[in-house]
Amino acid sequence: MADAAAGPAYGISVEDVSKKMKATQALAHLTVDFTAGLMHGLIGPEGAGKTTLMRLLAGLLRPDSGRIAYLAQGESVPFARARPEVAYMPQQQSLYADLSIVEHLDFFRTLYALPDETYLPRRRELLGITRLEPFRDRPAGQLSGGMYKKLGLMCALLSSPRILLLDEPTNGVDPISRREFWDLLYRLHEQGILIIVATAYMDEAERCGRSHLLHEGRLLASGEPRELLAEAGVGTIDELFLLRTGG
CA geometry: angle at 89 spanning 84 and 91, to 5°?
150
63 with 140: CB under 8 angstroms? no
Give 210's contacts (C-beta < 8 A, 6+ positions apart). Answer: 35, 38, 39, 40, 41, 222, 223, 224, 225
In a 3-state reduction of DSSP, which class is residue 219?
strand
Helix, strand counts (H, E) of the chain: 8, 10
Spatial separation of the C-alpha atoms in residues 154 and 100, rounded to whole Å: 13
Spatial separation of the C-alpha atoms in residues 209 and 41, rounded to whole Å: 8
Pairing of strands 194-199, 163-167: parallel
Structural domains present in the chain: 10-245 (3.40.50.300)
pLDDT per position in the chain (247 positions), as tens? Answer: 444 446 789 999 999 999 999 999 999 999 999 999 899 999 999 999 999 999 999 999 999 999 999 999 889 999 999 999 999 999 877 799 999 999 999 999 999 999 999 999 999 999 998 999 999 999 999 999 889 999 999 999 998 899 999 999 988 888 888 888 898 899 888 888 999 999 999 999 999 999 999 999 999 999 999 999 999 999 999 999 999 988 6
Spatial separation of the C-alpha atoms in residues 81 and 55, rounded to whole Å: 17
Q: What is the pLDDT of residue 188?
A: 87
**CA 13 vs CA 33, 55, 119, 224: distances in Å:** 5, 15, 32, 17
Closest CA to 141 of 92, 90, 99, 93: 99
125-181: pLDDT as tens digits = 999 989 999 999 999 999 998 899 999 999 999 988 999 999 999 888 888 888 888
216 with 247: CB under 8 angstroms? no
Prediction pTM value:
0.91
